Amino acid sequence: MSVLVGKPAPSFSASAVVDGQVVENFSLDQYKGEKYVILFFYPKDFTFVCPTELHAFQDHLSEFESRNVEIVGCSTDTEMSHWGWLQVPRDKGGIGGVTYPLVADTNKTISSAYDVLVGDYDFDEYGDLMAEGELIAYRGLFLIDKDGIVQHQLVNNLPLGRSIKEAIRIVDALQHFEENGEVCPMDWEKGSDAMQANHESTAAYLAKG
């Protein structure tokens, strides 16, 4: 599993469904320099755990927006599958009411770039993906800052749903550090005390190896 933290988020352009409308050439590049992004991968449309996560992000969308964070979902389904699922009401197992972008990673290149693709696959000598059976995405979540750098990543196995509270907490921690220069200890939450980093001590520690 690749660690992308501290590295530029892999760029992509793909079809997506945004507020019920299919759009072409959707890219995270539109947010660079303007917004933070939480990009989360989920395994599959028309499943059981996935809609609980998609609705949770929608239910807390205003909290992310108040923090200047754009929420973007992605799975290996097609854009038409996303659109079809959006037509199904929430009480019928659908995701009706979800407005944030849902990216269609139909050719699996986005999931592969973020190293969350699960299944039996390899690449040939030309770099083309070869697979046996179905390929879907783990429950990966990536917090990307306004410079396009991954600051946090979390990857869960398929049966394990994520925590919206933790996603919000990690955004608050990053923004607190950026605004105040203070580092955030274990279980830090917005409004609680943070810590001043002792840069000289840290440098001396690293120099000793």
Q: Which residues are catalytic?
A: 50
Q: Residue 77 carries which side chain, given as an amino acid letter? A: D
Cα angle 133, 139, 143 (rounded to 5 degrees) comes to 135
Orientation of helix 164-180 relative to helix 49-59, angle to 10°: 40
The span from the CA of 105 to the CA of 57, in Å, is 19
Pairing of strands 21-26, 150-156: unpaired
Beta bridge partners of 102: 17, 73
Cα–Cα dist 118/158, whole Å? 9
Residue 103's DSSP bridge partners are: 16, 74
For CA atoms 36, 24, 21, 93, the dihedral sign is negative
